[in-house]
Amino acid sequence: MDAPAGTIDTFPRLLLRHAQTLGDRPAIREKYLGIWQAWTWGQMRGEVEALACGLAQAGLGRGAHLAVIGANRPRLYWAITAAQSLGAIPVPFYEDAVAQEMVYVFQDAEIAYAIVEDQEQADKLLEILPQCPKLKHIWYDDSRGLRHYGQPELAPYERLRDAGREKAHAEPHFFAAEIARGAPTDTAIMMYTSGTTGHPKGVVLSHDNLIASSRAYAELERLTHEEEVLAYLPMAWIGQNLFSYAQWMVVGFRINCPESADTVMNDMREIGPTYYFAPPRVLEGLLTAVTIRMEDASWVKRRMFQYFMELARRVGSRLLDGLPVAIHDHLLYFLGDLFVYAPLKNALGMSRVRVAYTAGEAIGPDLFVFYRSLGINLKQLYGSTETSVMVCVQPDGAVKPDTVGPPMKGVEIRVLESGEIVLRCPGLFRAYYKNDDATREAKDAEGWFHTGDAGFFDSTGHLKIIDRAKDVGKLSDGTLFAPKYLENKLKFFPYIKEAVAFGHGRGEATAMLNIDVQAVGDWAERRGIPYSGYTDLAAKPEVAELLRGCVEKVNADLSRDERLCGSQIHRFVVLHKELDADDGELTRTRKVRRGFIGEKYATIVDALYAGAERCIVEAQVRFEDGRVGSVRAELSVHRAKTYAAQALAA
């Protein structure tokens, strides 16, 4: 155990090391009963040891799978390390997945053991028990509501831990011996990809995959064990796993679990993370909240905000990149910081952020620039579950809104004829679980991984991603049509929650829009427009006018781009219901499933292209409790103004 930290090669060994060298420092905190409760690395070692012994006692062996389901809770993190200590493989699940979505993974991975957060998750597993006969043990963290459940499979977490403590006491060397048996090439975790098509695939990642990726980031950003990180994203997402588990274990910083999903903003303000990771939708949500609050602010504050944000847009990013800025702008920016930027960053909980990353989806350039202009060092990175998120990252001082940066050290990238990006990297996954065909398809004989993303290198060697390779299409006249590019542009408006663009093989581009009920509702209230609910609000002619303005702005913007000018949006509809992962319209990471939506709402798509004024749509909706109902609505097709490229160039 005296090896230098940089050569320790499995997560459980990293835990032992931190327990030795950082024993008294907090490793993980959770806000409970209004107070941040902390566990040191030393205490965490004890908890993980007890849990590992308990799991071993229950029969969890090397190579077996352990389901981990729930929000970010210390005990669920310990469950991951405990499983890894035994050479077993943790499989995290999205906590908001409905029961039937879990069935496939339980069957595919032949999962016999599960540690879950609470009654909600336990109920789901009990529901699918008949379909998953291999599942034998379900331990729950929070016993609330479970007191009178009599199923033999169920047991409280405490029972597992206490049994483990006894075993640990009787066999004090068991834990260390199990850890010693582990190898860096062992599987550390299996993450199921959300799968925009077909069944999810289990991505097998080894300890050295994740550790190599974590070390690369830690080195690049000079991370230390002083960093504070908020662990608030779904555990089943590789981004969360890498930044809040793998890097946490590698660097030895602190992670903080929020009190509940609704308190994240407040908890973030209290913790003041120094290292922050957020997918674009979270950043978008924060910006929407800020925009709404600014509309409520007094006239003076509003003017001040507008004035200084204008200045920030002009010089903020340049200052952050260390580029020259006129002296009076320097002074003004200083004032702006005093009056606007610093208080705003404080309200966002980002005052102490040293490095912030965004990934998971392309980020709208305007959204990206907003954060950077405030002086928050937000950077884009590119990676996927299969690459342990290690492909490209923007280096300090060379951040561009529309690229994901140059390849990281040790990553080789090629762009194929078709525009698809292929790569080799140390974080590259072993295989898809029990799916050799898919593995061979994704990873060729020489180890090149086919990402499925389309992109190219710009003149400075930064990689630019346009869309999924299979989604990039052409209008019938041959104009380039990149749907996600259009959707992102639309989604930057606070009033638009989701957008789905159509146009491949068609004469012109069209779109379906989802209103952001919070922002549009607020807007409507301010104007005294009454509405009864989501569907009613979305159908208001005033709302259609509001969105038409947004679409036309996007069109004006597109007309400035030579290649994309042809894909301006001619017509759009405002959907009567929110696109929802429960209805299969979004993936669990909230990416739109364009193909599925196109089929489901074929009548709308037809109406968009038939020149109809209205269309009637009937759609199935799945309620949160699993029941299915249907919603019928009549939608109007709206036209938007398009711009000629020359007119604007002139």
The residues of the shown chain that bind other proteins, judged by CB under 8 A, are 32-35, 126, 144-145, 147-151, 259-260, 262-263, 266, 625
In a 10 Å sphere around its CB, with 0-12 CB exposed, 13-18 middle and 19+ buried, how is residue 624 labelled?
A: exposed
Write down the least CB distance from residue 144 to other proteins, Å.
6
Q: Which is nearer to other proteins, 107 or 263 (CB)?
A: 263
Write down the least CB distance from residue 231 to other proteins, Å.
17
Q: Which is nearer to other proteins, 32 or 456 (CB)?
A: 32
Q: Which is nearer to other proteins, 2 or 624 (CB)?
A: 624
Q: Is the separation of the CB atoms in 467 and 483 below 8 Å?
A: yes
> What are the Cα distances from residue 40, in Å, to 172, 286, 497?
21, 31, 41
d(CA 248, CA 254): 7
The DSSP code for 306 is H
Q: Which is nearer to other proteins, 347 or 438 (CB)?
A: 347
Q: Which 3 state secondary structure label does DSSP give 155?
A: strand
Nearest to 213 by CA among 413, 383, 18: 383
Q: Which is nearer to other proteins, 437 or 623 (CB)?
A: 623
Write down the least CB distance from residue 119 to other proteins, Å.
9
Write down the least CB distance from residue 137 to other proteins, Å.
17
Q: Which is nearer to other proteins, 33 or 647 (CB)?
A: 33
Write down the least CB distance from residue 70 to other proteins, Å.
15
Q: Which is nearer to other proteins, 75 or 570 (CB)?
A: 75
d(CA 103, CA 124): 10
Write down the least CB distance from residue 624 to other proteins, Å.
8
Tracing tokens 């998971």 back to the chain, one arrives at 360
d(CA 590, CA 39): 33
Tracing tokens 């674009």 back to the chain, one arrives at 280
Encoded amino acid at 22, one letter: L
Write down the least CB distance from residue 126 to other proteins, Å.
8
Q: Which is nearer to other proteins, 151 or 620 (CB)?
A: 151
Encoded amino acid at 587, one letter: T
Three-state SS string across 560-599, please?
CCCCCHHHCEEEEEECCCCCCHHHCCECCCCCECHHHHHH
d(CA 539, CA 549): 16
Q: Which two tokens stand for residue 346?
A: 């404080």
Write down the least CB distance from residue 578 to other proteins, Å.
15
Q: Which is nearer to other proteins, 55 or 138 (CB)?
A: 138
Nearest to 82 by CA among 174, 140, 168, 12: 12
d(CA 65, CA 106): 9
Write down the least CB distance from residue 127 to other proteins, Å.
11
Q: Which is nearer to other proteins, 266 or 620 (CB)?
A: 266
Q: Which two tokens stand for residue 73?
A: 């809770």
Contacts for 582-586: CB closer than 8 Å, 24+ residues apart: 582/98, 582/622, 582/623, 582/624, 583/619, 583/620, 583/621, 583/622, 586/498
